[in-house]
Amino acid sequence: MLVKLDEDVRGRDCFVVQSTSEPVNDSLMELLIFIDCLRRASAKRITAVIPYFGYARQDRKDEGRVPITAKLVANLITAAGAHRVLCMDLHAAQIQGFFDIPVDHMAAAPVLSDYFTHNRDRFGPCVVVSPDVGNAKVANMYADILGVDLAIIDKRRKSGSQVSMKSLIGEVEGCSVLMFDDMISTAGTVCEAARVVMEHGATSVHVACTHALMVGSAIERLASGPIGSVVVTDTIPIGERLAGLGGKLVTLTVAPLLGEAVHRIHHDQSISALFRNGVGVKR
């Protein structure tokens, strides 16, 4: 992989925009090489803008003899020469602490909540449902923003791709159910949660996420499941990957949000106001 700059960047404030998504390792290496290229070209400041931070789920040792790859990736980005990182909806907020350089952690909450607010009449009475207890803080944040009630599903994970829903805490009967998460991977959790709430009298289910990973049989599950719409952002390139969702797919852009953050960083202004609504990111 060869990276060459066609313009002089000496003394410039540079921003490298790269999601470390599929192919993850190629995307990561391209990011690292580009940062190194800018550093050797005497850029004044290098900010890595990473809408989707790959390896974020490997943030702790959950069994013996496994790596903490999120920390390794943070070390690599720092060692390559980045002075600052701008990212969106990390799977675990504590990943910010893996870096020894400043990290601006954005949230897609303003984009996702605006969509549901502007389409409120179409959805009718709504309730936000957390598909598991660990996501309750995020769900509560969206429920507060939208001014609706909250319900929680007790989830027990059998394996990485299989989940078992135990019980529903709250009322969903006669309501459109809205479910929010930082990412949809195999879609096992949201599809099983959708089945549970429909059995409890929900009129429709709409799921939203920041990062549309959609691995394995996720597309088939969402397309055939009791889900009315799948709302995602463009932190990961969509292309034709999600074509199987047909009319269920709604794609929102986070470009203006990230663009405003880049503008504020460049002019040494505070960007905290842009992610003040993101206090509910998963811990």
Give the Cβ contact number of residue 140 at 10 Å. Answer: 15
Whether 120 contacts 161, CB under 8 Å = no
Annotated active-site residue 155? The verdict is yes
pLDDT single digits (tens) 222-248: 999 999 999 999 999 998 899 999 999
Query: Residue 266: is its pLDDT beyond 70?
Result: yes
Question: Of the residues 71, 137, 155, 248, which is catalytic?
Answer: 155
Q: Classify residue 136 as left (phi > 0), alpha (psi -120 to 50) or beta.
A: alpha
- Of all residues in the chain, what percent carry a pLDDT higher than 90? 85
Query: Residue 113: is its pLDDT beyond 50?
Result: yes
Query: Residue 280: is its pLDDT beyond 60?
Result: no
Which amino acid type is present at position 238? I
CA dihedral angle for residue 90, residue 211, residue 219, residue 252, rounded to 10 degrees: 160
Statement: 13-107+256-278 belongs to CATH 3.40.50.2020:
yes
Whether 74 contacts 95, CB under 8 Å = yes
CA distance 45 to 10: 10
The tokens of 230 are what? 């799948």
Whether 135 contacts 181, CB under 8 Å = yes
Whether 34 contacts 66, CB under 8 Å = no
Mean pLDDT, residues 195-203 taken together: 96
Contacts of 67 (CB under 8 A, 6+ apart): 58
Query: Residue 221: is its pLDDT beyond 70?
Result: yes
Mean pLDDT, residues 84-92 taken together: 95
Residue, of 281 and 26, whose pLDDT is higher: 26
Helix (H) or strand (E) holding 123: helix 120-123
Give the Cβ contact number of residue 189 at 10 Å. Answer: 23
Of 258, 283, 261, residue with least CA distance to 272? 261
pLDDT at 281: 46
pLDDT at 166: 67
The tokens of 278 are what? 């993101």
pLDDT at 1: 85
* Residue 283 C-beta-side C-alpha neighbours within 13 Å: 4
Statement: 109-253 belongs to CATH 3.30.2320.80:
no
pTM across the whole model:
0.91
Mean pLDDT, residues 265-276 taken together: 84
CA distance 206 to 193: 11
Binned at pLDDT 50, 70 and 90, residue 167 comes out as: confident
In the chain, which residues fall in CATH 3.40.50.2020?
Answer: 13-107+256-278, 109-253
The tokens of 216 are what? 């394995």
pLDDT single digits (tens) 13-70: 999 999 999 999 999 999 999 999 999 999 999 999 999 999 999 999 989 999 999 9
